[in-house]
Amino acid sequence: MAETNDDAILREMLALADRLCAQATDTMMTGQYAFLRARIDALLELRGAAE
Amino acid sequence: MSPPVADPFASSPFLNKVATLSRPELEAFQLRKVQKLVARLYAKAPYYADRMKAAGLTPDAITSLDVFRDRFPTSDKKSFLEDQLAHPPFGHRLGIDPGEVALVNMTGGTSGQGQEIYGRSQRDVHHLGYLHALPWYMGGLRPGDIAVNCVPAGGMTTGGWGPGEGIRIIGATGFHVGGATSTESKIDLMLKLGRVNFIYASTNYLHTLTETMLKRGITPREAFPEMHGLFIAAEGYPLEWAEEIEKHWGCRLQEGYGSTQLMGFGASTGSDGVFGKDGKRGLMRLFEWETLYEILDPETGAPTAPGELGEMVVTNLSVEGSPVVRFKTGDAARYVPWNEVGDGKAWSAIECGTIGRFDDMMKIRGNNVWPSQIDAAVFAIPEFGDYAGRVYTRGGKTEIEVRLAFAEHLTDLSPEARAALIAKARAAIKERTNVWMDCEECPREALPKFDYKARRWKDERQSGYKF
């Protein structure tokens, strides 16, 4: 499928979420950040834009 | 003494920041949140706007928490139900567009007066999870843990949804076994899991689970050596029972205070457990950066003195959909102000193990009797598995019957030992309530088993007055 502007924004958001998860050391927040990242990742997947 | 829980503040800079707020900083934060909430509801929730106008109040008049507490009208279950009836389904207190409602929760309906309905936004759904995850994290739940949730999942209640969201956002793995399976099946599953690190259950159900394991010859601390958190809510208990539970499981027992109105938990024992430093009852610290609490005399509305029993009156500080503002919960708690707790935190507290309901109180022969007092008397004697009580009228006189069942794993008690324990329970009940009650033994299977909140008392006095 052709890349749309939505996909591009979601990709940027995923990259930001990856950064957030990678630097997180607060164990009260790590699960919540991973949850946020998973939501973005799921949107990219269902839009067929995950590759 | 059970082993300590890993320090939750050391492993979470966020929590540490909240824990080190000074009282003036905390109250300034609360005031900003209250002002924002009131301004939003004045514009978007006619239920609250009308009440403010009737009280001659506008949002910009809320210049301090004292003004808010003195002048903002209280609400209660009755006023919410009237609002819902007039403006179904959510009432005019919703505060968001109906199309923004992502989750609908209702109160359990155990009061018999009707169920309040709450419409939660997408943001609220995450926050609902957070308000379950927060006390469980403090009580030992960590990413990667296996958690067993014994509270019935799903349905319309906050308690049915919150645990799933909470365990998920912590990054733990949840087995939501409540309601759907028998206690025996839950135990079978737990044994197959290899490890279980955390259990959430009502006080009553943790008792049932433990009792059933013991009957099967299972020693919980040996079967589940990696357990590091037991978390209970919903009902009071005696400390003798808590001590037995910690001994059986080999880990610390924690307690939380929560409700649909709070959209989850509003207080917990943190990592401290249910025993205070002196071995007496511990404290549940109020999450005051999430909820504004007032503990008031239910009749006069005046603030309760430290150490006294009062009604919890609550205001949500972070909830978007159907927020409660100065809501009279009917929950009775013993209040300890922040500066009397003595650990440097700015959070006030309530005594754990003694939360009751003002509407559960029974007036018996001139005495105010609370089911939690009889729970405390009976369950302080570990030989008892459960009991049921009935207040009724015979010949114009109030009678009280308490049917006591011995724990299922205790099958070898002699008749003399049974009689002595029944007499001991009767004396303990009299000591706590000032009322002599008729106590008799009954088979364990004659008493109902409860998945969540136990309803052990029946008041049949009204029917006794029929001709």
Phi-psi domain of B112 (left: phi exceeds 0; alpha: psi -120 through 50; beta: other) = left
B150 φ, ψ (degrees, to nearest 5): -90, 0
Q: How many other β-carbons are positioned within 10 Å of the β-carbon of residue A6?
A: 12
**Interfacial A residues in 2-41 facing B (CB < 8 Å):** 25-32, 34-35
Q: Where are the beta strands (DSSP E) in B72-116?
A: 103-106
Q: Retrieve residue B277's tokens.
A: 């430093």
Q: Which residues of B touch A28 (CB under 8 A)?
A: 8, 11-12, 14-15, 133-134, 137
For residue A28, the chain B residue with the least C-alpha distance is B12
The partner residues of B169 in beta bridges, in order of sequence, read none
H-helix segments, B171-237? 183-192, 203-215, 220-223
- Assess contact for B405 and B443: CB atoms under 8 A: yes
- The per-residue pLDDT string of chain B (467 residues; one tens digit each, 9 = 90 and over) reads 677 888 999 999 999 999 999 999 999 999 999 999 999 999 999 999 999 999 999 999 999 999 999 999 999 999 999 999 999 999 999 999 999 999 999 987 766 678 999 999 999 999 999 999 999 999 999 999 999 999 989 889 999 999 999 999 999 999 999 887 899 999 999 999 989 999 999 888 898 899 999 999 999 999 999 999 999 997 778 888 899 999 999 999 999 999 999 999 999 999 999 999 888 999 999 999 999 999 999 889 999 999 888 999 999 999 999 999 999 999 989 999 999 998 889 999 999 988 877 777 787 776 778 888 888 899 889 899 889 998 887 766 778 899 999 987 777 889 999 999 999 999 999 988 888 999 999 998 888 777 666 778 887 766 544 45
Place of tokens 């019957």: B401
Spell out which residues of chain A touch residue B172, defining contact as CB-CB under 8 Å. Answer: 31
Give me the residues paired with residue B265 across strands: B258
The CA distance from B131 to B233, in Å, is 14
Which pair of tokens denotes residue B154?
A: 């799903």
User: Chain A: nearest CA to B137, how far in angstroms?
Assistant: 7
**In this complex, do A28 and B143 lie within 8 Å of one another by their Cβ atoms?**
no
Q: Which residues on chain B are in Cβ contact (under 8 Å) with A34?
A: 171
Among B284, B223, B236, B229, smallest CA distance to B252 is for B229
Contact B231, B209 (CB under 8 A): no
CA distance B170 to chain A (A): 5
Tally of CA atoms within 13 A in the half-sphere of A4 that contains its CB: 7
| A32 to B130: CB separation less than 8 angstroms, yes or no | yes
Q: Which residues of A touch B133 (CB under 8 A)?
A: 28, 31-32
Q: How far apart are CA B342 and CA B122, in angstroms?
A: 38
